[in-house]
Structure 1
């Protein structure tokens, strides 16, 4: 039976340079055993370099990496207790699914019969029982990805690494396979470090998300924390589109603050806000629109697009153009409609920059 040996991961003051270029700046983070943590960020932020250092495919310029409490900083990849699922799947095209899964075990010295029995168990674990004789070309993209996951899991690593594992799949298949990976991780309880640039993917699979920018950590937290309480305009926009609106903080009362835009006042979580000018991150689906004139926060619709289950609007206001997503398709409003802009109770946060 395949067992979980979930290990912790610790980065201590990691720096990585390529010549004169510093890719990672003083990175320190801890990943608890049995959790799925996603490294998320735009291209060039350092997330893949971080994963490659954990895998032993790159070595840090300075700092330490610990897996399960053991210092592995300078160990080669084959001496670390990790397995990696690559973006390209890296399956041998001339070998059956069963042989692909068994390959790592046989290469490490396990007897052929035992390795194939374990490989059968691995295929069953990922829902591919009975498909061991198929070549990779005879499998769908999602099935190939599951073969790659099975091959990694049967090695029973302390940490499973996943590098953009769904990027070669279409949107519908991505949703299904990410659910399968998450359910498998929760069922077996292994530690996983997952790299992606897809925000929806990160929100769907993660216990914790680490957003990277320019080789460092911009913000980390639970999916809900990062989406609902972004620390900056960069985080707010990266974790799903957001309107950044200038406002004034007029009152702070414990955990709540009152902001004012025009004549409109609205209560939001204070997040250590100070009285005076500030910025507000507002999700497109957290804005309400009502046909009106003489409103506290007036606007005019400049663009309207019907998308089946919602309407997208662009609304010109005194603070700039707002992007709004409204589920009320039965009352879609036309361009040039004067509206009163309001806010819902969630999806709104004071940000620092």
Structure 2
């Protein structure tokens, strides 16, 4: 009978200490089958430790880890039904691509003929049919990464773990390979846990993003949730760019608040705020730059024409603000007084 929880992941009150240092104070996290969840955060935030505990490469100090409904906290890595794609690819340089993919299958006791058939299927999955006889050194970085993904997938794990899988690729290749990984995950429907420090990468591939800070979950949500409704100044600054400005909550009715910032008023989700001083996170594209009208008073400090948009730095009573205008092809000159009006999307109250 098929396990309905196959691919589900759960961390229950997991703590990880290294001597006197606590890397993960307490982690409670559930991942549904078929989701691609990214652990995102700055260096030292605990994301790699979390992945290594899930892989069985680290043992929690306290708590429990479940995969497919089974407690695997004390199981060794080779009995967890997970596979990992490493940052370094970890391909055997002396083996052909085909043999690299078949190696894990044969090590698991699968007969050679069946292993070869599954390896061929793996090459097909990642679009590398016909390249099985080459050595890894004869492939591009992107192709080597796809071999590493194929080698992991042919083992049909409950969960695929990806540890900074694109960090060794150049920017252009990273965009292409991340799209390929996401399309493959959606097509096959496997559960994946993806670790990266790259915000754009996380936004592009994830069903959910778990942002970590100091071993704790700072915010957990969809890419849109985190970008449009950051829960804190840390999230607003870490996920994309944001201008953080002072505001005043004038009133709250139900879930909505009336807010004044400078000479402008705007209605926004209250997110638990009450009347009084507060802060707004405003994305660079959430301002409209105008000569007159309501809004924040400002003066253009710098203006740069970039073809399909204009980037400004504007001095205001809220400090120097970074503004992206994609509605105009003519830039205001430095020194020009302007009004910054809120466009609605990309503005959020934060704690």
TM-score normalised to structure 2 length: 0.96
1:262 CA displacement:
2.3
1:241 CA displacement:
0.6
Instruction: Tell me if structure 1 keeps the 8 A contact 2:8–2:30.
Output: yes
The corresponding residue for 2:337 is 338
Question: Partners in 2 of 1:300 and 1:222 — Cα distance?
Answer: 36
1:295 CA displacement:
5.5
Question: Partners in 2 of 1:282 and 1:42 — Cα distance?
Answer: 22
Q: In angstroms, what is the RMSD of aligned CA positions?
A: 1.4
Of the structure 1 ranges 250-259 and 330-339, higher mean CA displacement relative to structure 2 is found in 250-259
Of the structure 1 ranges 321-330 and 70-79, higher mean CA displacement relative to structure 2 is found in 321-330
1:28 CA displacement:
0.8
The corresponding residue for 1:153 is 153
Question: Partners in 1 of 2:104 and 2:328 — Cα distance?
Answer: 54
Question: Partners in 2 of 1:107 and 1:5 — Cα distance?
Answer: 27
Give the secondary-structure state (helix, strand or coil) at the position aligned to 1:14.
strand
Instruction: Tell me if structure 1 keeps the 8 A contact 2:294–2:341.
Output: no
Query: What are the within-5 Å matches in structure 2 for residues 111-260 of structure 1?
Result: 111-260=111-260
Question: Partners in 2 of 1:334 and 1:102 — Cα distance?
Answer: 63
Instruction: Tell me if structure 2 keeps the 8 A contact 1:281–1:350.
Output: yes
The corresponding residue for 2:348 is 349
The corresponding residue for 1:325 is 324
The corresponding residue for 1:78 is 78
Alignment deviations for residues 48-70 of structure 1 (CA, whole Å, 9 cap, x no partner): 00000000111111111111111
Question: Partners in 1 of 2:86 and 2:207 — Cα distance?
Answer: 21
Alignment deviations for residues 211-253 of structure 1 (CA, whole Å, 9 cap, x no partner): 0000110110111111111110001111111000000011223
Alignment deviations for residues 169-212 of structure 1 (CA, whole Å, 9 cap, x no partner): 11111111111111111111111000011111111111111100
TM-score normalised to structure 1 length: 0.96
Question: Partners in 2 of 1:165 and 1:6 — Cα distance?
Answer: 24
Instruction: Tell me if structure 2 keeps the 8 A contact 1:5–1:156.
Output: no
The corresponding residue for 2:46 is 46
The corresponding residue for 1:304 is 303
Query: What are the within-5 Å matches in structure 2 for residues 88-107 of structure 1?
Result: 88-107=88-107
Question: Partners in 2 of 1:223 and 1:338 — Cα distance?
Answer: 35
Give the secondary-structure state (helix, strand or coil) at the position aligned to 1:252.
strand
Give the secondary-structure state (helix, strand or coil) at the position aligned to 1:330.
coil
Give the secondary-structure state (helix, strand or coil) at the position aligned to 2:54.
helix
1:296 CA displacement:
4.4
The corresponding residue for 2:60 is 60
Q: Which runs of 5+ in 2 are unaligned?
A: none
Question: Partners in 2 of 1:68 and 1:146 — Cα distance?
Answer: 26
The corresponding residue for 2:16 is 16
